[in-house]
Amino acid sequence: MKSGPVLMFDSGVGGLSVAHALRQHYPELPMCYACDNAWLPYGLRDDVTLSRRIVSVCKAAVDACQASVLVVACNTASTLALEGLRATLDIPVVGTVPAIKPAARSSQTRHIGLLATTATVNRPYTQALIDNFASDCVVTKVAADALVTEAEAWLSGAPLDEKRLQQALLPLWQATQCTPALDTVVLGCTHFPLLKPILVSLSPNPLIWVDSGDAIARRVGQVAPSLVNNTPDGRCFTTAPATRLIKGLARYGFQSPQLLTVAKIDGA
């Protein structure tokens, strides 16, 4: 087992919500962060090229910080590239999936909402999770790509566009008026927990909000129980300049980003 930090990876800043969950469980855990902001958003890329890109960026970031565990804090990257990452890297790789199972357990009305990106909502992998763990539930799927943009802008210091948020969330609010009424929401994109206080304040009814952060933290503890130590870190890597994110990254304990050199891939 290597003794380096845990590396969080996402296409943007969504992985910071997972980093926050890990720090709640392991306050002394050394962590680094890498985001592929040069290719954000991932939903616009074809799957084959994107999968190769994710492996290339993660390998460069793992080498840069000598990570001992990689956390793929991105649903799209997890569904596409976990197999390739595990075949390429010699460290544990922990992925992210929408928290359908715990949401189904929490729902009293048996009506849950999946708030995610279009790519995650439409993937067969997501439907398989619903079939396996929420087959007795009504599941309202809401593609809310606008929330990703809002979270990225908000972390950089821009004000939130409440009208745009409400428009994206309207199908969710409408489902709370159905019979049975929606009572539990899966935050199926790691960007969305960053906005959770705002989502709670906008909701017309009290809801249970579920994300994958705690489950990922527990999994990291299982694959790397010896990593909890006082080794300092906080390094951050991006694939394009990201000065606008410096203050937001610092809020989550990460230093000013360093530019990551990534090997060119075919089709990029």
Give the three-state DSSP class for 70: strand
Of 116, 170, 112, the closest CA to residue 147 belongs to 116
Q: What is the largest CA-CA distance in the chain?
A: 53
From its phi and psi, is residue 237 left (phi > 0), alpha (psi between -120 and 50) or beta?
Answer: beta
Rounded to whole angstroms, the Cα distance separating 251 from 236 reads: 13
Which CA distances in Å does 22 have to 71, 73, 131, 174? 10, 11, 29, 33
Query: 32, 65, 137, 189: which is the annotated catalytic residue?
Result: 189
Rounded to whole angstroms, the Cα distance separating 57 from 262 reads: 6
Query: 32, 35, 65, 74: which is the annotated catalytic residue?
Result: 74
Q: Is 236 a catalytic residue?
A: no
Rounded to whole angstroms, the Cα distance separating 237 from 217 reads: 21
Strands 31-35 and 93-94, bridge-based pairing: unpaired
Give the three-state DSSP class for 176: coil
- CB of 227 closer than 8 Å to CB of 6: yes
Q: Is 74 a catalytic residue?
A: yes
The set of catalytic residues is: 74, 189
